């Protein structure tokens, strides 16, 4: 029981730290305007245009740090602060999401693997959320069967998070290069600011991977070594 509590608290603290880190760095550089004066929406539009992408819609929305690229609908969504703002944070986030659109165009393999795995990963997430409660209140599953199902579900989530890492790192790499090449970020000081924003954001994906790996190992350990997690 103590080990389970330590696992829960440890992964929770890691996730909270990663979220605090990205918000802290993002908010810091949200106050630093780029000398180019280019807004996030303009930066994304220019990057897409230069990359020969003309069928992706760029839209604003109200959720802070809910920026994403939707490959199904070919829509690049930016928070209002990033869409209208010309800060280093705005440019970094906008260019990062445009990097995903470029990945989509060039058929970047990890992106397509992640897209293909969304459905099964969502199903696995429901399993890890509800199966422990079902097993606790009904007792219909043996400890071995429950551990096996949970291990499989966490394995799917872990693989999804693992594939996500190169997708996100590659998009950030593309973002930093294109912002400098197109003159939207000037000088080493602005380049370092954008890098810090993107590096902080990457920690949320690293934290998610570490968490899923830890829970996978927790559930498969009894299957491999014949131990009981409650010991």
At residue 106's C-alpha, the angle toward residues 186 and 177, to 5°, is: 15
Closest by CA to 218, choosing from 114, 147, 112, is 147
**Rounded Cα distance, 57 and 51, in Å:** 14
**Rounded Cα distance, 74 and 72, in Å:** 6
Beta carbons of 13 and 210 less than 8 angstroms apart: no
Q: In sequence order, which residues have a C-beta less than 8 Å from that of residue 118 and are 6 or more positions away?
A: 160
The pairing of beta strand 75-79 with beta strand 68-70: antiparallel
- What amino acid positions are annotated as catalytic residues? 97
At residue 130's C-alpha, the angle toward residues 128 and 136, to 5°, is: 105
Strand partners, 68: 77
């Amino acid at each position: 029981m103590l080990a389970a509590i330590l696992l829960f608290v440890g992964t929770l603290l890691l996730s909270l730290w990663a979220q605090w880190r990205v918000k802290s760095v993002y908010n810091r550089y949200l106050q630093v305007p780029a000398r180019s004066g280019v807004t996030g929406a303009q930066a994304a539009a220019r990057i897409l245009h230069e990359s020969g992408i003309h069928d992706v819609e760029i839209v604003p929305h109200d959720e802070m740090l809910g920026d994403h690229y939707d490959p199904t609908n070919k829509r690049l969504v930016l928070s209002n602060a990033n869409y209208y703002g010309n800060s280093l944070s705005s440019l970094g986030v906008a260019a990062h999401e445009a990097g995903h659109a470029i990945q989509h165009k060039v058929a970047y393999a990890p992106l397509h693997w992640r897209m293909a795995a969304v459905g099964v990963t969502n199903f696995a997430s429901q399993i890890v959320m509800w199966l422990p409660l079902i097993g606790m209140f009904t007792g219909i599953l043996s400890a071995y069967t429950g551990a096996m199902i949970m291990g499989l579900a966490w394995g799917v989530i872990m693989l999804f998070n693992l594939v996500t890492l190169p997708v996100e790192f590659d998009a950030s790499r593309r973002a930093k290069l294109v912002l400098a090449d197109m003159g939207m970020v000037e000088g080493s000081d602005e380049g370092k600011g954008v890098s810090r924003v993107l590096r902080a954001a990457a920690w949320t994906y690293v934290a998610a991977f570490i968490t899923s790996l830890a829970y996978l190992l927790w559930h498969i350990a009894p299957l491999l070594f014949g131990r009981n997690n409650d010991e």
